[in-house]
Structure 1
């Protein structure tokens, strides 16, 4: 089988999946992480995420710094996951087998797959609207189908084309969103719509949670895109490139969203994409802005489709012991995942903003304990020493199930319930805090503490990182056909 080499065309289909990336195939620099994550965050869903803070009660004057705090806090966690990629050369959820066991890692994986489907579906709704505007189609379902096909093509092609899309989205995002900021201030008296409301702790913390949740949900797949970097790549450089790209891109988009919601009021709620197009002004300029929206959504939706496929494969291969699949089966997985997200998008509820807010906050509840366990173990318990071959062996060092990690994960999720502020449930302690949702903070801190206390007594990390034999990559891999 022909392997992806640094000299290959960006249009060459990726052949690697969940196996270790051999040193001979490592390439690139941390700069690629900046452009990928900057481009992935300069997009319409991030604008909507920032607008939610204002739609649900915060003044933009307070929402913007709150979103920044959330982006920074969540971005630190997200970038710490990214820094693992060059060292280990494996997808993020494969590395979590070191904490949960080869079979045990399936528990958070199921939630990860649902997350990818949710984000892919909500992104398809917004991108489908942009496609309709570009092609002058009245049926959003047709736009969603077209966007789904584009997503499948790029995601099937794989890592290199996704990075190229990220670079294109970076340039398009800077120009497009920069223009929208200027247009917003030219068309509206923004200052007159900011600072009308006094500080409110509950809505301030909601904005922090929206920013943090946005970043934390990248954690389960961020290392998938840094694992091709050379093994000797600086962890510091990988961290800062990922952090800067993701935080700057998302904060720019969310700030624009908060200001749009402040000046537009109810006009933004029924048609977010249409409002942004109207803000752009002349028809030709609006057309270009719709293209910017499409490119940005395509980049991040490909991340969702690619990550969803990797998570499904990680789940399946935990039980059959294989580490590779054929390109045909790989493509089938991605197409099936994308088709499922398209179906969800088509039948999605009309209450987009309300459901999206609750979706993001729910994801915080299930992913903060996972992040806490993964990072605590990797940096504090194992101290970056991992038995990489054992990640694929249920009978190896990490075993099938890791009871301490799984117990701490469940306890970490349950511990957040009293602090939730969801549409269907508000915790008793949340009411005493005036409706402020701090569940994700509890999930991170509490889980990290109890896991560290338990795991330092039970875990058995290797004396140094164990890498696969140089010739193990292809010779020992069994194809699933």
Structure 2
């Protein structure tokens, strides 16, 4: 049984596939599309804020830049390994979690993924709404939030190809806009004075690493959604490197800029992040910079809405046994998700920076063990052999629940508690380490080491990839869909 739409995939420009496997006849594009998508999705203002958080919460500028680079490399590599699953499986990322957790058991990480999508969509909508309001000189937050939410819903409804095109545009626009802002920053401020203001410490270095690693790992639950249309003969290495370089480079450039801005501007940036960018650009260029901000945020916000919709559908389909969803229902799912994210944005905009930091670090705690289980299974246990039809049947190979994977996932969260450095709770080992947060490293290692031998003994791995019997007959080829 596969989840599919009732209309053919070729019926117009709007994508109609959801969580079913993309047949070979509909595959298109090249790995370079992964670079532009993830570069554009990272070179945006929320990544700038993430970099600024390192300085705001006590990290010296050089330490912050180095720590963020390490985190982007480590987290980006893990994220890109997930991306490489897309062409091989032709599936969205989270549907493949049923291999490890069971058809119904995958709902546990899925619910957390949906919350993540909503959180990031809301925080992005806050900043983009401010930019739109500044463009039109309107003070009411609701105006910008509703306008940005409407744009997000339209692009997400149209789907995969438009999202990739938007990523290409955002990459070009982002490079030009942020280079101009960097020039303005060096022209208006003594950037050299940002360095050496505080002594180096291991604890602050690890905080910076955690911020950027957490940023990258939050892409992992949906990165394969945007590589699944690539031809199945696309090599693992080409998908990996295109995704990795795009995501790590885009994020590092944005976060480094955020470090410099926070270090030289202090309270001015804290007071109004978007307004500061407009003032930095100057009256003549401010509107253009606001457009750059909106374009970058629109790219990643569409990823959140698109991935959020598919995660909701993946969760519900495991329990209601529905095999079809109409294009209209698909649209309602996406619009409903966007509306909820807008409501959260209206409620959460008051203490944005503190909320965002705690949100990112919390997500790191719940997604590291999921990522460890998924990657260890895919590359070391199943070794890329997946029974795709069984992913849609709780009575088939993978069953309803996999106690081993679920237990390791919970263990991966629990072992982090003594090492957490959260606003609400600081673990005893964190205090002994001078405030250094190594919880995600502990979780990654422990989860992988415990899961691997148990999975090797218990997993029912097929001898080869098993595809649906007639993957291209239910839905005709998407001849009308333009290549990415």
TM bucket, shorter chain: over 0.9
* Separation of aligned partners in 2, 1:324 and 1:227: 20
For 1:212, the equivalent position in structure 2 comes to 213
Alignment of 1:322-471 (within 5 A): 322-471=322-471
For 2:197, the equivalent position in structure 1 comes to 196
Alignment of 1:44-443 (within 5 A): 44-281=45-282, 283-443=283-443
Aligned length: 471
* Separation of aligned partners in 1, 2:7 and 2:310: 20
2:9–2:475: 8 Å Cα contact kept in structure 1? no
For 1:40, the equivalent position in structure 2 comes to 41
* Separation of aligned partners in 2, 1:293 and 1:3: 36
* Separation of aligned partners in 2, 1:299 and 1:136: 24
What is the deviation of 1:135?
1.3
* Separation of aligned partners in 1, 2:180 and 2:61: 20
What is the deviation of 1:183?
1.0
* Separation of aligned partners in 2, 1:349 and 1:275: 17
4+ residue segments displaced more than 3 Å: 1-5
Question: C-alpha deviations, 1:380-427, integer Å up to 9, x for none?
Answer: 001111011111111111000000000000011000000000000000
What is the deviation of 1:316?
0.5
For 2:8, the equivalent position in structure 1 comes to 3
* Separation of aligned partners in 2, 1:212 and 1:86: 24
Question: C-alpha deviations, 1:97-122, integer Å up to 9, x for none?
Answer: 00000000000000000000000000
2:54–2:259: 8 Å Cα contact kept in structure 1? yes
* Separation of aligned partners in 2, 1:114 and 1:393: 25
* Separation of aligned partners in 1, 2:84 and 2:327: 28
What is the deviation of 1:460?
1.4
* Separation of aligned partners in 2, 1:19 and 1:197: 52
* Separation of aligned partners in 2, 1:472 and 1:87: 16
TM-score, length-normalised on structure 2?
Answer: 0.96
* Separation of aligned partners in 2, 1:375 and 1:204: 27
Q: Is there any run of 5+ residues in structure 2 with no aligned partner, and where?
A: 1-5, 477-484
Q: Sort the Cα spacing of 1:414 and 1:323 in 2 relative to 1 into closer, same or farther, 3 A.
A: same
What is the deviation of 1:325?
1.2
* Separation of aligned partners in 2, 1:130 and 1:101: 43
Decide which moves more: 422-431 or 344-353: 344-353
Q: Sort the Cα spacing of 1:135 and 1:373 in 2 relative to 1 into closer, same or farther, 3 A.
A: same
Question: C-alpha deviations, 1:419-460, integer Å up to 9, x for none?
Answer: 000000000000000011111111111101100021111111
**Secondary structure at the counterpart of residue 442 of structure 1:** helix
Q: Sort the Cα spacing of 1:336 and 1:2 in 2 relative to 1 into closer, same or farther, 3 A.
A: closer
* Separation of aligned partners in 1, 2:408 and 2:359: 23
* Separation of aligned partners in 2, 1:276 and 1:60: 19
2:99–2:386: 8 Å Cα contact kept in structure 1? yes
2:25–2:472: 8 Å Cα contact kept in structure 1? no
For 1:479, the equivalent position in structure 2 comes to none
* Separation of aligned partners in 2, 1:311 and 1:359: 19
What is the deviation of 1:4?
3.6
* Separation of aligned partners in 2, 1:270 and 1:304: 27
Question: C-alpha deviations, 1:202-245, integer Å up to 9, x for none?
Answer: 11111000000000000000000000000101110000000010
* Separation of aligned partners in 2, 1:269 and 1:406: 41
* Separation of aligned partners in 1, 2:345 and 2:475: 41
1:57–1:203: 8 Å Cα contact kept in structure 2? yes
2:222–2:307: 8 Å Cα contact kept in structure 1? yes
The answer to which structure, 1 or 2, has the higher relative contact order (CA under 8 A, 6+ apart) is 2
**Secondary structure at the counterpart of residue 14 of structure 1:** coil
What is the deviation of 1:251?
0.4
**Secondary structure at the counterpart of residue 474 of structure 1:** coil
Question: What root-mean-square deviation, in Å, do the aligned CA atoms of Structure 1 and Structure 2 show?
Answer: 1.3
* Separation of aligned partners in 2, 1:415 and 1:314: 28
For 1:25, the equivalent position in structure 2 comes to 26
